[in-house]
Structure 1
Amino acid sequence: MPAGNRCGASRSNRAKNFIFIPIKDKLKDRDDNVHGEEDWLVLYRNLAKPIFFKMDPEKAHHLVIGGLHSAGAFPGGTGLLRSMYGVNETADLAVDLFGIHFPTPVGLAAGLDKNAAAVDGFSSIGFGFMEVGTVTPKGQPGNDQPRLFRLPPDEALVNRMGFNNEGAEAMAKRLSAINNRRIPVAVNIGKNKVTPNEEAYKDYQECLRTLYPYGDFFVVNISSPNTPDLRNLQYGSELSSLVRHIMEEMRAQAAKHGESKHILVKIAPDVSDTELEEMVDALAPSGISGIIATNTTIGREGLSHSNAKETGGLSGKPLRTRSTEVVSRVYRQTGGKLPIIGSGGIFTAEDAYEKIRAGASLVEIYTALIYEGPEINRIINAGLRELLRRDGFAHISEAVGADHH
């Protein structure tokens, strides 16, 4: 979602008070045996969401980031979050991919924690991994506000944030200060708005150089609709040249640090079948480790809310079908040999399973977290286990691409 993640003292204190005072009250209730575990699952929906949805979306976003940042710094805060919203690792859902262990297959997509300000907090609410960013070499303010819009009847968001972030050095400082990460953290990298496309590779290389020690893997964002001409980097010689330069930098950093890390590319849903085929043809032999399908869409079909007219990328339920189609096409074209992370419109276990059967090894959510709250991770993971049992799969990897077999 949205927005720079500067956590000023007053904002952090407001967020901390908002989040922790009701929780303390509920802890007292639970100690008195008045409430059970179901209280934790409805806390967001019944208490926080009505308040957040009366606020400007970007202000609400800042408040959430501030609260989760405070939880990470507050003694016992992350433990409290885990007791409320954590997801226990199970053998049937844990995934080993890219040489990395993912305790659950459901991750947080890029865009919510743009500056790695709340990694400990997000790591404590049931995610199996998370992306931070998109980060650019130099900090930039992004596009003018307002730039984030809710579409409640459509269960969607429109954003035109424009890669607002504090820059790679600031993110490196934050990530370097985090000890004992609970989940893998991917760094989503982009180019500054003022950088012309012919020099974009330098921005991606600079992000890699600055952040290489701190990302478990990296995601190249060339598919946001909110940076002028960025999506042109997805095509033809521009794509091949960009990825070649990025992989050269990755190899240089691997030699320097003694550890090779994996690079994924995030693609758009708004491409023709021919364009997608050419894109995958360029990416498959390039040395990248996988594809994230997909970013937000500029399409507006079937929307009912007046905010559909706003310029920007649409995320949420309306994106589900198209993003799954892209996952399926990429899987089929690569014969399942290039891992895919499926993202777009996942609100339920069935939505996640649809993408897994289409070819995704992992999935990500974003908009569903805003609409459903942090309990969504428990719900999706529990539902996935039931769906695997229903279909006779002992492990989630057996379901990957099952619709093609």
Structure 2
Amino acid sequence: MPDWSYQTLFRPVLFRLPARVARTVTLNAMRGVSRIPGGTFIIKTLGHMEPSPLLESHHSAIIFSTPVGLSGGVDPHGTAHRALSQFGFGFVELGPITKEQQITTDPIRMDLTNEALLYPSEYENDGLQRFIHRIRNPGHRLPLFARIAADQAHSVDHAAEELRSLHHTLSHENLAGIYVEAISEKHDLTSNKELLQQMTELALQVRTTDHDHARQLLYLYIPLDFPNDELKQLLQDVDTSQWDGFVIGNAIHEQDRIRIGKEGLALCIDKLQLLREMTAPSAIIKATAGVHEPQDALDLLHAGADYILLHSGLVFSGPGLPKRINDAIIYNKISQTPPPPEPSFWKHWGWLSLLGIGMIIGGMIAWLIASSSVLLSYDEVFLGMTRTEVGWINPHLLHFMSHDRITLAGTMMSLGILYYYLAKNGIRHGLHWAKTAVMCSGIIGFSSFFLYLGYGYFDPIHAVAAAILFPMFILAMRSNPDQPLRSPVNLHNSREWRLAMWGQLCFVILGFALCIGGIVIAGVGVTNVFVPQDLTFMGLTREALNNANPNLIPLIAHDRAGFGGALLSDAVLILIVALWGLQQGQRWQWWTLLLGGAPGFVAGLSVHYGIGYMDFIHLLPAYFALALYITGLILLYPYSMSEVRSAKR
């Protein structure tokens, strides 16, 4: 469920359902995908959210692959943690955890205007024993942190004893750390002082009795809307250095519910600044409130947070939010560092540029031949017939063969343009997604040469072209270390971004559709060769063609299979660009899609009109693809052409 499907298709439907139902449907769907064979690979492929090594950090012996964590309230029952762990998170929170299960059937509501979730209870959870089972079977390898809370109705001594019991039980589990809720807005100042003092003594005891470097970390959990003046008094009266860190909550308490949403950001920044004033500079602080777009996360990090957790932002912005935040953090890190030296033209990207130029020239020559003589001399030798004699068999036969060869020529030109632009703007700068796109496309494209042999026809020009171009592909794929994108990335859920989600959806559908089309055409080319509409256009049967010349079908099959392979290679490039590559302000990407798609559509549609092959069913996939192509370009234009701007807060 990437943003391009969530924002466009799923969110409008899910937001019409009761919130609990929508959450259950979403998480169960994610769980279902992650549990099928290859399910996590599908999630990774659609989102390309693997964290960069540049994001890795350490706290004690704990390794965080990213500073972005998953809040416990997003998936309180652990339904889809295996799937969610693939979204670019560096750690996962469980809880709040209370000793006994707490359940309410009251509805969860949504404030769409203010982007907030309204929960009837802050402590609704499955109870300690079910959480222990979840800890032992997490379904992922991310560090786990548990937030523990006592029954708020009990006395301070009872609450302290309950927290100690929860900590003692969980201290034997595979947790990286525990968040202790020792401050509550429901207690008076005196009660909070007493409870905090007892829990600080527990933190001291853990520090002095457990000398294992891999011990669980203890964090003090601070309610988001707890009054600052009271918080100052509490922190002044205890030794805060005994805590490994602090966690700022995300709930704004109202009369009969809690509010978790975007409006918590300002309160969270205020709490961060206070904590930074009153704690050691080395103190680790996690912030959990109000992150709905990458700029929010940057604001929290700038205000003093070391790590952030996502909750309501995932609901309103979509599952791509962790990746977008990670990209923004990476850019902030590298923007002040000098770029690496630009590689030589002959290192790798230059060879891919030459490969692209070669395919463009080859496509133009093939188009010229296909629109004039159609057959080459070695084609006539293979058939044992001249072009004129082939035309005597049926007046539409040469037109049909021209139609196959022109569409192949247009696809070759599209491939060449895509290779050239990806070489110049992607491979040259070490962009991982660009290298992956070219690698997958090239393997498919050069492997499809063997489809030419499906009916026993060997095309010497294709063989020579492949022999010349393949070494360029190999040289282009030489050692080329991944480099982060050094251009500004999207920071806001702007109108341009939302339109771009629709544009991205169009190109993702187009990429998948062309992949299917390429596979089908290649499959037809090496099996039946013709679809019924082909034979209707020519006014011939397969048997009549075979009787006229047994080498005609192998020759046509060679063209069709070659076109199918080239189309699949082209489709993979478009699909990966759409899935992984699109970024705000990257104008070259828009021009790549425009120029890379144009020759294929012009060739395919113009030749059908030119020869009069206008069967609507036959051309319907092309019309559908063209509609997606044009619509996608229109919707992506504002996003691709606009500059990235930081928020003014």
1:144-293 counterparts in 2 under 5 A?
Answer: 144-146=105-107, 148-178=108-138, 181-192=140-151, 195-212=154-171, 213-222=173-182, 229=186, 235-245=192-202, 248=205, 254=210, 259-282=214-237, 284-285=239-240, 287-293=242-248
8 Å contact from structure 2 (residues 47, 320) kept in 1: yes
The one-letter code sitting in structure 2 at the alignment partner of 1:290 is G
Q: SS at 2:58's partner residue?
A: strand
C-alpha separation in 1, matches of 2:170 and 2:200: 18
The letter of the residue matching 2:58 is D
Structure 1: any 5+ residue segments left out of the alignment? 1-18, 20-39, 300-309, 395-405
Cα distance, 1:42 vs structure 2: 0.6
Separation in structure 2 between the aligned mates of residue 377 and residue 369 of structure 1, nearest angstrom: 8
State the alpha-carbon separation in 2 of the partners of residues 162 and 89 from structure 1: 31
Q: Partner amino acid for 1:160?
A: P
Q: In structure 2, give the amino acid aligned to 1:134.
A: P
State the partner residue of 2:312. 367
Q: Which amino acid aligns with 1:167?
A: G
Match of 1:27 in 2: none
- Corresponding residue number in structure 2 for 1:124: 86
User: 2:15 — aligned with what?
Assistant: 53
Distance 1:97 1:158, change over 3 A: same
* Cα pair 2:276 2:304 within 8 Å, conserved: yes
1:133 and 2:95 matched:
yes
The one-letter amino acid paired with 1:322 is L
Q: How far apart, CA to CA, are the structure 2 residues paired with 1:393 and 1:191?
A: 51
Q: Give SS of 2:11's match.
A: helix
SS of corresponding position for 1:166? coil
Structure 2 segments unaligned to the other structure (5+ residues)? 340-649
Q: Give distance in 2, aligned partners of 1:284 and 1:224.
A: 19
Question: Counterpart of 1:337?
Answer: 282
Q: Which amino acid aligns with 1:159?
A: Y
Separation (CA, whole Å) in 2 of partners of 1:393 and 1:124: 31
TM-score, structure 2 length as denominator?
0.48
Aligned to 1:111: 73
**How far does the alpha carbon of each residue in 1:231-278 deviate from its partner, in whole angstroms, 9 at most, with x for none?**
8698322211233246547877x58x9952101122123233322222
CA contact (8 A) 1:154 1:317 kept: yes
8 Å CA contact retained: 1:69, 1:118:
yes
Corresponding position: 1:350 with 2:295: yes
Q: How large is the Cα RMSD of the aligned pairs?
A: 2.9
Tell me the amino acid that sits aligned with residue 291 of structure 1.
F
Q: Does 54-63 or 86-95 show the bigger shift?
A: 86-95
Aligned AA for 2:275? V
Shift of 1:290: 0.6
Report the secondary structure of 2:232's partner residue. Answer: helix
Q: 2:332 — aligned with what?
A: 387
Work out whether residues 336 and 359 of structure 1, in 8 Å CA contact, stay in contact via their aligned partners in 2: no
Quote the Cα distance in structure 1 between the aligned partners of 2:68 and 2:143.
12
SS at match of 1:347: coil
Matched AA of 2:134: R
Structure 1 residues 112 and 292, CA gap change in structure 2 (3 angstroms)? same
Distance in structure 2 (CA, Å) of the matches to 1:313 and 1:163: 10
- The CA distance in 2 between the partners of 1:393 and 1:318, in whole Å, is 37
Q: Secondary structure at the match of 1:336?
A: coil
For 1:99, the equivalent position in structure 2 comes to: 61
For residues 119 and 178 of structure 2, the distance between their equivalents in structure 1, rounded to whole angstroms, comes to 23
Aligned to 2:27, the other structure's residue is in SS state: helix
Q: 1:102 to 1:384 in 2, by over 3 A?
A: same
**C-alpha distance in 2 between matches for 1:223 and 1:57:** 29
Aligned CA distance change for structure 1 residues 323 and 123 (closer, same or farther; 3 Å): same
Paired with 1:102 and 1:276, the residues of 2 have a C-alpha distance of: 29
Q: Which amino acid aligns with 1:268?
A: P
Distance 1:197 1:122, change over 3 A: farther
Deviation digits for residues 116-141 of structure 1, max 9, x if unmatched? 33321221111111101111112121
Which structure has the bigger radius of gyration?
A: 2
| Contact 1:188-1:218 within 8 A present in 2 as well | yes
Partner of 2:321: 376
- Kept in 2, the 8 Å contact 1:106–1:127? The answer is yes
Check whether the contact 1:87–1:126 (CA below 8 A) recurs between aligned residues.
Answer: yes
1:42 aligns with 2:4: yes
Residues in 2 aligned to 1:64 and 1:231: alpha-carbon distance in whole angstroms = 40
Aligned residues: 338
Match of 2:260 in 1: 315
Alignment equivalent of 2:251, drawn from 296, 320, 330? 296
Q: Counterpart of 1:236 in structure 2: which amino acid?
A: K
Q: Which moved more, 1:384-393 or 1:364-373?
A: 384-393
Q: Distance in 2 between matches of 1:266 and 1:202?
A: 17
**Aligned mates of 2:305, 2:151 — CA distance in 1:** 30
How far did residue 376 of structure 1 move? 0.9
- Specify the SS of the correspondent of 2:162: helix
Distance change (3 Å), C-alpha of 1:150 and 1:97: same
- Match of 1:138, SS state, is coil
Q: Which aligned pairs between 1:80-91 and structure 2 lie closer than 5 A?
A: 80-91=42-53
Structure 2 CA distance for partners of 1:72 and 1:198, relative to 1, 3 Å = farther
Q: Residues 55, 133 of structure 1: CA spacing in aligned structure 2 closer, same or farther, 3 A cutoff?
A: same
| CA 1:169–1:272: 2 relative to 1, 3 Å | closer
Q: Which amino acid aligns with 1:199?
A: H
- 1:198 partner letter: D
For residues 57-72 of structure 1, the aligned pairs below 5 Å read: 57-72=19-34
Distance of 1:70 and 1:214 partners within structure 2: 25
Distance 1:258 1:89, change over 3 A: closer
Shift of 1:292: 0.9
Q: Is the 8 A contact 2:183 2:196 kept in 1?
A: no
Please identify which structure carries the higher helix content: 2
Residue 240 and residue 86 in structure 1: after superposition, are their counterparts in 2 closer, same or farther (change >3 A)? farther
1:87 Cα deviation from its structure 2 partner:
2.5
Q: SS at 1:139's partner residue? A: coil
Task: State the Cα distance separating 1:353 from its structure 2 match.
Answer: 1.3
Is the alpha carbon distance of 1:231 and 1:187 closer, same or farther for their aligned partners in structure 2, counting shifts above 3 Å? farther
Q: Cα deviation per residue 1:332-382 (whole Å; 9 max; x = unaligned)?
A: 222422110122111222211111111111111110100011011111111
- Higher RCO structure, 1 or 2 (CA under 8 Å, sep 6+): 1
- Decide whether aligned partners of structure 1 residues 266 and 170 sit closer, same or farther in structure 2, where only a CA change above 3 A counts: same
Task: Report how far residue 104 of structure 1 moved.
Answer: 0.9
1:221 and 1:83 map into 2 onto residues whose CA distance is 39
Deviations 1:201-227 (A, max 9, x none): 2222222233331212111235677xx
Report the CA distance between 1:113 and its aligned residue.
2.5
